């Protein structure tokens, strides 16, 4: 009897070890690194951030780490830095006072699939202008393209994506879209009128647009 009990204990012990080993060997996320599938750095078709950054610089852009900040119309000592952080690809054209720059998120630049920011830029929707003294680029972003560039609801305080190490372009104003994509709101406003700032992103983005473009963005009142 005593031998039978001992045998049962040994069998149960082996079964438990096998079950634990099988559990540890599986990965419900599908990623060997432990990162969720589809996330940057993960498996399952995740976005390749390193390749996107290299692509940015290969195209003549520069990588800029920016911080979201409120009250950027005031002295920098009065800015409220928010938790938002974003690495952007930025292209600059010209020198000195005549230099222009455009910012774009890395996914929009590198992905072979469209983003809302990329489609909004390529669509060249006629600019929706304010009837008051509002910032025309911000107004066009919100009213013409259904994006947002608002930082709170305090008139005159402003906000933007900042990098205090930049000699000129310390604050960039991004138009953000519901899919998380972002592009410089002044760049997209000028481009709609045929003026390129920084670089023509149509020649930089990996996304190859269809003809015609997907009708995500249409003029106000259009079909």
Domain assignment present for 9: no
Domain assignment present for 42: no
What integer pLDDT is reported at residue 219 of this predicted model? Answer: 78
Domain assignment present for 16: no
Residues 94-122 as b/e (b if ≥16 CB within 10 A, e otherwise) read: eeeeeebbbbbbbbbbbbeebbbbbbbbb
Domain assignment present for 216: no
Cβ(175)–Cβ(183) below 8 Å = yes
What integer pLDDT is reported at residue 45 of this predicted model? Answer: 56
Domain assignment present for 132: yes
Domain assignment present for 185: yes
Domain assignment present for 118: yes
Range of the domain at 162: 49-202
Number of H helices and E strands in the chain, helices first, is 6, 7
Of 56, 82, 88, 69, give the one whose Cα is nearest residue 181: 88
Render each residue's pLDDT in the chain as its tens digit; 223 residues: 444 344 433 333 434 334 433 333 333 333 333 333 333 333 345 899 999 999 999 999 999 999 999 999 999 999 999 999 999 999 999 999 999 999 999 999 999 999 999 999 999 999 999 998 889 999 999 999 999 999 999 888 999 999 999 999 999 999 999 999 999 999 999 999 999 999 999 999 999 998 999 999 987 655 5
State the total domains in the chain.
Answer: 1
pTM of the model: 0.79
Structure tokens at 183: 């592009």
Helix, strand, or coil (residue 166): coil
Burial class (CB in 10 A: 0-12, 13-18, 19+), 39: middle
Domain assignment present for 86: yes
């Amino acid at each position: 009897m005593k031998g039978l009990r001992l045998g049962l204990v040994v069998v149960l012990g082996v079964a438990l070890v096998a079950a634990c080993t099988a559990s540890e060997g599986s990965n419900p996320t599908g990623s060997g690194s432990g990162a969720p599938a589809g996330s940057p750095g993960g498996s399952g078709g995740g976005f390749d951030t390193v390749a996107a950054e290299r692509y940015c610089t290969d195209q003549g852009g520069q990588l800029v780490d920016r911080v979201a900040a409120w009250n950027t119309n005031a002295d920098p000592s009065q800015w409220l830095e928010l938790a938002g952080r974003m690495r952007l690809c930025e292209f600059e054209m010209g020198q000195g006072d005549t230099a222009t720059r455009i910012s774009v998120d890395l996914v929009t630049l590198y992905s072979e699939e469209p983003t809302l920011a990329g489609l909004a830029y390529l669509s060249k929707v006629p600019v929706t202008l304010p009837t008051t003294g509002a910032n025309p680029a911000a107004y066009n972003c919100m009213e013409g393209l259904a994006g947002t560039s608002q930082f709170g609801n305090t008139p005159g305080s402003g906000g933007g994506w900042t990098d205090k190490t930049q000699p000129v372009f310390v604050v960039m104003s991004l138009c953000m879209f519901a899919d998380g994509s972002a592009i410089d709101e002044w760049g997209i406003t000028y481009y709609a009128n045929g003026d390129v700032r920084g670089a023509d992103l149509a020649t930089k983005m990996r996304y190859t647009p269809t003809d015609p473009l997907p009708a995500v963005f249409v003029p106000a009142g259009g079909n």
